[in-house]
Structure 1
């Protein structure tokens, strides 16, 4: 009997997976106002209809890309959305331009997408994804 494909998860992982499936109130995932600070290169701010405000840097958003390729890579490496890759030890690190979107496009009424300056463009950042991944102190443990 083969056990390939069976993966044991901790109680904490199971709790997080269950919470990720729990629907959020509509007001929590419905933006009242979205501000993309593309010119300034700083990031995105969303005022939600429930009165909460979320903000992310472009660096965090690029590292949290929700496309299948990026999600698989993060899972394989054990990283959370927005968590950077481990840097190899180098004598002279190569300069890497900070992540910035070249274009920002609404996706229907449910998401936003970015075409990043590194050429990546397949991530669709749903309002639900963004709210569940709000990085403010109040949200870190509530969703």
Structure 2
């Protein structure tokens, strides 16, 4: 028996999602090998027990955070899972001060309660922790750490060409 958690939402949406992903077996959602390339900064790779291989960049994983806050933000903005925030939206809120003598504007971006985000946009994991036998959690360089990436979730959002084609058919 796998842990699926409690689902909230409209019944028809939850049932449709369950039907859409009915073909995920234990072998397809249990990793044989997990590599988090934290030192190289390239991302995470999983070899699944059914022989499939998945890989994600850290930037994609951060933009696909499954926590409730990030999901609500994506839904409100109409972004797909893994799709980055628009540049203009990422710059707010900002503290702006004009330098009167030179007419320059100085901007320092800091999200409330989070460390300043790197200008280059290179979000990296600071810490990676296994959560039981069903998930992994990242503490990101922008201070965010609420998302628990279950093996089932990661398999559903696999970015290989074969899975992306299947995901496109399901939409």
Measured against the shorter chain, the TM-score band is 0.7 to 0.9
Shift of residue 74 of structure 1?
0.2
Matched residues in 1 for 2:63 and 2:136: separation? 16
> Measured at CA, do residues 141 and 128 of structure 1 come closer, stay the same or move farther in structure 2, by a change above 3 Å?
same
Is there any run of 5+ residues in structure 1 with no aligned partner, and where?
Answer: 1-6
2:133 corresponding residue in structure 1: 109
Question: Is structure 2 residue 161 aligned with structure 1 residue 131?
Answer: no
1:21 and 1:54 map into 2 onto residues whose CA distance is: 17
Q: Structure 1 residues 97 and 142, CA, compared in 2 at 3 Å: closer, same or farther?
A: closer
Structure-2 separation of matches of 1:26 and 1:79: 29
Q: State how 1:5-16 maps to structure 2 within 5 Å.
A: none
2:165 corresponding residue in structure 1: 141
TM-score normalised to structure 2 length? 0.69
What is the aligned-residue RMSD (CA, Å)?
2.7
Distance 1:99 1:77, change over 3 A: same
Query: Which residue does the alignment assign to 1:30?
Result: 30
Counterpart check, 1:54 vs 2:78: no
Change (3 A) 1:80 1:46: same
SS of 1:128's partner is: helix
What are the ranges of 5 or more consecutive residues in structure 2 without an aligned counterpart? 1-9, 92-106, 110-118
* Aligned residue pair count: 132
1:82-132 CA distances to partner (integer Å, 9 max, x unpaired)? 001122299xx9824401000000000000000000000000000000000
In our comparison, the structure showing a higher alpha carbon Rg is: 2
- Label 1:96 to 1:16 Cα distance change in 2 as closer, same or farther (>3 A): farther
Q: TM-score, normalised by structure 1?
A: 0.81
Spell out, residue by residue over 1:18-52, the C-alpha distance to the aligned partner (whole angstroms, 9 max, x if none). 54453611000000000000000000000000000
Name whichever structure is richer in helix by fraction: 2
Runs of 4+ in 1 over 6 A off after TM superposition: 13-16
